[in-house]
Structure 1
Amino acid sequence: MTTEESQLSIGALASTGRACEQSMDQEFQYLKVLQGAQRYEVDNQGLQIFYKTAQESGILRFTSQTVRGLW
C-alpha cells in the first residue's frame, strides 16, 4: 500500500482458502475492490476509500462503533 496526499494504491492481496463458498465470494469481492482503491478521506464520520474496478466504482465506508458486552 502506498499513499501520497489523499491518493491510495493497494497492491496484490492474498487470502487463505479456508472458508465456506459464500464467505469466499464476499472476501474475493472485498479484496478486488480494495485493489481498485484510488483515494481516501478521513473525516468525523470515519474512513472512506474510493475505488474503481473494471466492473464498478464506489466507496467503502468504515465507521467506529462502540461494542459492549463481549465478556
Structure 2
Amino acid sequence: MKASVGVHPLDSKTGRFVRGSVLALGSVIMIAGLVIGFSGAALRAHGELDRASTALLLVVVCALGAGGYALVRFARP
C-alpha cells in the first residue's frame, strides 16, 4: 500500500503508540544528557574532574543530545 502525501507512515493505532514511545524515549535521553552535563559541570567546578574527562563528558552529552533530538524529530508528524 502506497502512503499518500502528508500522511505519516506511523499513522495507525500501533504506529501512534510507537511514535509516542519514541517521543518519550527521545525526551528521556535528552533529559539524561542534561543531568549528566550539569553533574559534570559541578564536578569540574569542584576540581574533581580533569581536562580529558571533561572533554569525554562533553562528547557523551552532545551524543545524547543529538540522539534524543533525532528520535524526537523522527516521532513528529
Higher relative contact order (CA 8 A, sep 6+): 2
Which one has the largest radius of gyration?
A: 2
TM-score, reference length from structure 1: 0.40
Greater share of strand residues, 1 or 2?
1
